[in-house]
Structure 1
Amino acid sequence: MTSILFHNGYVHSSSDPFAEALFVEDGVITWTGENDTAASFAKRADRVVDLDGALIAPGFVDTHVHLLETALLDEAVDVAPTAGGVTAQAVLDLLAARVELDSAKAADVVADAAPHIVSATGYDDSSWTSEPLTREMLDARFPGVPVYVPRADLHSAIVSSALLASAGLTDQILDDRGRVSGAIHTPIREFIRELAPARRTELYRAVLAKCAALGIVSVHENAAPGIDTPEGLAELIDMTSSPESGLPQVVGYLGMLVRSVEQVEELRAQVPGLAGLAGDLSVDGSFGSHSAALREPYTDAPDTIGTLHLSAQEIEQHLAACSDAGMTAGFHVIGDRALDTVLEAVENLVKRDASYVSKLRRCGHRLEHVELADEASRAELAKYGFMVSVQPAFDAHWGTLGGMYEQRLGSERLCATSPIRDFTRDGIPMGFGSDTPVTVIDPWGGVAAAVFHSNPEQRISARAAFKAHTRGGWRLGGEANFMAGEIRVGAPAHLAIWRAEELGVQAENDGRSSWTTDGRSGSPLLPILSQDGNRPQCLATLRAGVFIYDDLGN
């Protein structure tokens, strides 16, 4: 048994909001209290940590990540606007700098199995006024070089002819820009991700270490064809199964469609520890790629209402099979027509057999993103016990006035996107995720994005946002210990320690006094966040009392 005393700091505990110290024994919080009492625990502690005024709080849970894709794109050429990628020519120039490197250095920029592929990250032409990037431009500038330029949302990509040839897809018909999406994009992503096992493990560990350094104790991996394999997901779950791994826990979801209990059981055996057949099992695409399924046409593309990748019948069969097997099911859902299709499937299922009402509620099925959900749809989600994994950073990146969401949807539908406060008000369990690499791993940024939502009607308090990004994540992941994500006696010691410029109690930014340090409020403190300000510094992260990141220096 190991024990740690933390003292002389601030403790974010709803059960003991004035605590200054806490004691951890064998991975469990066994005491919280004041400094003058903490001295009695020092003699029996294996380690004593002087917080020196730092904040100790529950560690974050990121409920939507793609670890392998994140690692690969961390090594790609950054063509985001901040890197100068604001025109097609600028993107080509940035790619050229990589292509012109010594071949030994240029090798492995994406994968050992395809060492000469050059990949980009951060590509978003929604704000361009110049001509868009095309396959012909890539072929002319980089003849014979496999080049992969995925859109920021990863639902479409511009690819060179050499990459299509390498992947054996030269007979595919692309649009006039040479874009790939849907059924054509998936085999290209799979081709790029054919990695040697040793390389794959190295990449996993690098991203998980980054997560730990940001105060994250658990992530929900959303694997699917083109993203990662069942074998890769099984490795992730196994390599992080114990806190002694020194890594955040991976809760694994596999986005593969099933039609029977037998298929569920086959995948459960193939991926031991599988949390669900959910995640990026896509009903539709994304706003940015004009592939999210909408009830009404896109404002800037009036000839399209997006794409449905799954039918109501397929969704119904998947939900039935998973519910019968006691397995969590779930789907990627962005547009309102996609959500309508899911709810149509649910209604058909319960009409066929009323026993599925209780089965659905018991399994804790989940939906990812859910960017457009009106009051009637939210009522149906609550009725059947659905949970949602949302990405507040989407609103911060694309939901502002004049941003990509308004271009795609118009001002009226823009105000309906990312209904975070509505989910909270309607009692729908909610967790926060980054969808990395679509947006960067930045848990405090996610909290701030919810507090400063572009629509004032959807803003929530910092405490509510923090709870969604901590305790809410454990709930979405099916954690049996109901105290996970809290600091109270008996709770697992999933913790992070933060150095912040200012602590307080910050409400949603709706014109009222934004925070208070009044001790009579009895509210646990959190860092005061600004919309674009500095984030708290992570000093340490503990998973079940084991340090998985330690920069305390004592």
Structure 2
Amino acid sequence: MSTFAVTGGPCATYDPSSGAWLRFDGFVVSDGRIASLDLREAGRDIPVVDLDGRALYPAFADCHVHLTDTGLFLGPYDFSAVRDAASYARQIAALPRGAFVVGGNYDESHWDDGGSASAAPIDAHHPDAIAMLARVDGHSCVLNRKALAFADLPPELPGIERDVDGTPTGRLFLEANWRAQSAILGALPAEAKRAADRRATQTALREGALHLHVQLVGLGSHDAYRAEIAALRDAGAAKWHPKICEREPAFARDLGLPYVGGDVFLDGSIGSGTAAVSEPYHDRDGCGHLMHGDDEVERYFADAEALGISAGVHAIGDRAIEQCIAAWERVLGGRPSPRNRHFIEHFEIATPAQIARCAHLGIFLSMQPQFDAYWGFPGGMYDVRLGAPRARTMNALASAKRAGATLVGGDDSPVCRLSPLDGMRAACAHHNADERLDVEDALLMYTYDAARFGHAEARTGRLAPGLAADFVVLDGDPIAQRTFEGVRVAQTWSDGTCVAELR
């Protein structure tokens, strides 16, 4: 149907001119775009999509997705439910045999026995495969002996764990982790990766995540990045925002992309003990690692600003966040960019002063509220790694909003479940009540402000005449209910076509 009306349930959209969410009874769609929010303009005898009492909102975005990894780590390859070393070994034993065995999402911070992931069961059950398991945050992994040999890592490379005899254990961190993951994932057959992309895309669409900001990390050559971006066209009916996670603004410009970066790592992760923090970790030595020098970061930002490309980095620890903000202050002269929307991914351990400086500079904060739901509760991994006082200040969503910063939401899938609604639920249920968002601000993170983050607000992100008919139909109405609890996605629509429906 090229023209039809949508009615029969409450509709809601953000109105930037008033700064409020508007409620209305339906709208008219023509040729994939919204023609009018006034049903009286529908005309006679046009088809009608009846919401049957369900609520309708703009389609959701997920502003930080690792698409191929999400698809690869589904089903038996998903180790997120493992709770001890014995079940870890049993799941490894049950994995299908093959030339490559790749799984992920294990998280020892949830294990009941205090154990840790090791290579021993991988070597025992898959000695002839190139086998690798990636930790839930992706910042460390475990390889069997054959995979270690395949990765062919230089012995002096940082991040190779060794036993007392100096023999590699198979556990990798830092640069060794990224080199090994890139080598092994890069060697997977192309069809296996494309099938994983299709599985992940269908998962996203069923969760209402139409707009996907895909992090493309460690692909090496420009041709490999071009091929990966081209492959997204065949992954499914999502709307794609590919992020080249390299310090190459000129390459992004040549590809016609308005942004670059994302997972350009200034530091590591809290779970792997590699996030760069100013005070030592509580459960291990050291303060993590900065992965680039100040001059490198400043040069990357200056190149992006000069070319009109919005640039981003991964910064979790306060020391990495400080390196980022200080570089932007030097490049921008302490003022917001007049044309770009620069951004920081994760922004977990930020001080109030750092939040205020980001708001002043107009830096977009791409954050993952589910991190708090997974690890921020009392006694959780953040408490263990960093101590309760520091953990209480983390993922400071409401503080950033009060300071005037723009927040956008993602799930860092497969780190967290690819579900914007889960992200919104987590944003409204932060373990620190002072950092909870209200329902409307949580929705903004995944709709209109996410569209601005993608330089797409002139095309989508809200419901208004002339914009794409991109929307989700929900069982449950979060604004009316004042909660996301019990809300689920029933349908996802793109350009006036239903692309996913839950029966």
TM-score (ref. length: structure 2)? 0.89
When structure 1 is superposed on structure 2, of 172-181 and 464-473 the one drifting more is: 172-181
Given that 1:164 and 1:170 are in contact with CA atoms closer than 8 Å, whether structure 2 keeps it comes out as no
- Map 1:50-199 onto structure 2 (within 5 A): 50-74=50-74, 77-80=77-80, 82=81, 85-98=82-95, 101=96, 106-107=97-98, 116-128=99-111, 129-140=113-124, 142-169=126-153, 171=155, 173-176=160-163, 177-193=169-185, 194-199=187-192
Identify if the C-alpha distance between structure 1 residues 231 and 201 changes in structure 2 by more than 3 Å, giving closer, same or farther: farther
1:42 Cα deviation (Å)?
4.8
User: d(CA) in 2 for partners of 1:503 and 1:195?
Assistant: 42
2:503 pairs with 1:548:
no
User: d(CA) in 2 for partners of 1:274 and 1:168?
Assistant: 34
Identify if the C-alpha distance between structure 1 residues 312 and 28 changes in structure 2 by more than 3 Å, giving closer, same or farther: same
Match of 1:218 among 211, 223, 229: 211
Give the equivalent residue in structure 1 for 2:484. Answer: 529
Give the equivalent residue in structure 2 for 1:368. Answer: 345
Give the equivalent residue in structure 2 for 1:321. Answer: 303
- Map 1:307-346 onto structure 2 (within 5 A): 307-346=289-328
2:412 pairs with 1:442:
no
One-letter code of the match for 2:318? D
SS in 2 for 1:505: helix
One-letter code of the match for 1:541? T
Identify if the C-alpha distance between structure 1 residues 178 and 12 changes in structure 2 by more than 3 Å, giving closer, same or farther: same
Question: 5+ unaligned residues in a row in structure 1: which ranges?
Answer: 108-115, 259-263, 507-514, 516-527
User: d(CA) in 2 for partners of 1:178 and 1:152?
Assistant: 17
Given that 2:252 and 2:258 are in contact with CA atoms closer than 8 Å, whether structure 1 keeps it comes out as no
One-letter code of the match for 2:350? A
SS in 1 for 2:339: helix
Match of 1:505 among 461, 480, 483: 480
User: d(CA) in 2 for partners of 1:233 and 1:440?
Assistant: 25
Identify if the C-alpha distance between structure 1 residues 504 and 344 changes in structure 2 by more than 3 Å, giving closer, same or farther: closer
Given that 1:361 and 1:385 are in contact with CA atoms closer than 8 Å, whether structure 2 keeps it comes out as no
When structure 1 is superposed on structure 2, of 164-173 and 307-316 the one drifting more is: 164-173
Equivalent pairs, count: 488
User: d(CA) in 2 for partners of 1:239 and 1:27?
Assistant: 24
User: d(CA) in 2 for partners of 1:423 and 1:457?
Assistant: 11
Identify if the C-alpha distance between structure 1 residues 86 and 318 changes in structure 2 by more than 3 Å, giving closer, same or farther: same
1:91 Cα deviation (Å)?
0.7
One-letter code of the match for 1:529? F
- Map 1:466-505 onto structure 2 (within 5 A): 466-481=443-458, 484-500=460-476, 504-505=479-480
User: d(CA) in 1 for partners of 2:122 and 2:197?
Assistant: 30
Given that 1:6 and 1:48 are in contact with CA atoms closer than 8 Å, whether structure 2 keeps it comes out as yes
User: d(CA) in 1 for partners of 2:88 and 2:381?
Assistant: 19
Identify if the C-alpha distance between structure 1 residues 148 and 535 changes in structure 2 by more than 3 Å, giving closer, same or farther: farther
User: d(CA) in 1 for partners of 2:105 and 2:345?
Assistant: 21
Identify if the C-alpha distance between structure 1 residues 357 and 89 changes in structure 2 by more than 3 Å, giving closer, same or farther: same
Given that 1:246 and 1:548 are in contact with CA atoms closer than 8 Å, whether structure 2 keeps it comes out as no
1:139 Cα deviation (Å)?
3.2
Identify if the C-alpha distance between structure 1 residues 75 and 536 changes in structure 2 by more than 3 Å, giving closer, same or farther: closer
User: d(CA) in 2 for partners of 1:461 and 1:529?
Assistant: 10
User: d(CA) in 2 for partners of 1:235 and 1:388?
Assistant: 29
2:33 pairs with 1:28:
yes
SS in 2 for 1:207: helix
Give the equivalent residue in structure 2 for 1:510. Answer: none
Give the equivalent residue in structure 2 for 1:524. Answer: none
One-letter code of the match for 1:543? S
User: d(CA) in 1 for partners of 2:72 and 2:355?
Assistant: 36
Identify if the C-alpha distance between structure 1 residues 138 and 216 changes in structure 2 by more than 3 Å, giving closer, same or farther: closer
Given that 1:56 and 1:497 are in contact with CA atoms closer than 8 Å, whether structure 2 keeps it comes out as yes
Question: 5+ unaligned residues in a row in structure 2: which ranges?
Answer: 16-20, 164-168
Give the equivalent residue in structure 2 for 1:279. Answer: 262
- Give me the CA root mean square deviation: 2.6
Give the equivalent residue in structure 2 for 1:265. Answer: 250
Give the equivalent residue in structure 2 for 1:454. Answer: 431
User: d(CA) in 2 for partners of 1:536 and 1:436?
Assistant: 19
1:215 Cα deviation (Å)?
1.3
One-letter code of the match for 1:323? E
User: d(CA) in 1 for partners of 2:271 and 2:221?
Assistant: 26
User: d(CA) in 1 for partners of 2:103 and 2:196?
Assistant: 17
Given that 1:230 and 1:254 are in contact with CA atoms closer than 8 Å, whether structure 2 keeps it comes out as no
User: d(CA) in 2 for partners of 1:495 and 1:323?
Assistant: 33
One-letter code of the match for 1:184? A
TM-score (ref. length: structure 1)? 0.82
User: d(CA) in 1 for partners of 2:404 and 2:432?
Assistant: 20
SS in 1 for 2:13: coil
1:503 Cα deviation (Å)?
5.5
* 1:109-136 deviation digits (Å, cap 9, x = unpaired): xxxxxxx222332211124434423234
The runs of 4+ residues in structure 1 deviating greater than 6 Å are none
Q: Percent identity?
A: 27
Give the equivalent residue in structure 1 for 2:226. Answer: 234
Identify if the C-alpha distance between structure 1 residues 200 and 147 changes in structure 2 by more than 3 Å, giving closer, same or farther: closer
One-letter code of the match for 1:125? E
Given that 1:190 and 1:225 are in contact with CA atoms closer than 8 Å, whether structure 2 keeps it comes out as yes
Match of 1:389 among 347, 354, 366: 366
1:75 Cα deviation (Å)?
5.2
* 1:115-161 deviation digits (Å, cap 9, x = unpaired): x2223322111244344232345435544443312111110012111
Give the equivalent residue in structure 1 for 2:442. Answer: 465
1:169 Cα deviation (Å)?
3.2
* 1:198-227 deviation digits (Å, cap 9, x = unpaired): 44333323322221222122111111216x
One-letter code of the match for 1:253? K
SS in 1 for 2:106: coil
User: d(CA) in 1 for partners of 2:488 and 2:389?
Assistant: 35
